[in-house]
Structure 1
Amino acid sequence: MAEITFEIVEHIGVLYEYPNGWKKELNLVSWNENEPKYDIRDWNPEHERMRKGITLTLEELKALKEILKEIEL
Structure 2
Amino acid sequence: MSNIKYEIEEMIGVLSENNKGWTKELNLISWNGREPKYDLRDWDPEHEKMGKGITLSDDELKKLQALLNELNL
State the TM-score bracket (shorter-chain normalisation).
over 0.9
Taking the aligned partners of 1:61 and 1:6, their CA distance within structure 2 comes to 20
**Structure 1: any 5+ residue segments left out of the alignment?**
none
Ranges in structure 2 where 5+ consecutive residues have no aligned partner: none
Aligned residues: 73
Q: Distance in 1 between matches of 2:65 and 2:72?
A: 14
* 1:35-46 pair list within 5 angstroms: 35-46=35-46
1:25 aligns with 2:61: no
RMSD: 0.7
Which residue of 1 is the match for residue 54 of structure 2? 54
Scaled by the length of structure 2, the TM-score of the pair is 0.96
Q: Which runs of 4+ in 1 moved over 2 A?
A: none
Counterpart residue number, 2:14: 14
Q: What amino acid sits opposite 1:58 in the alignment?
A: D
Aligned residues with identical type, % of pairs: 62
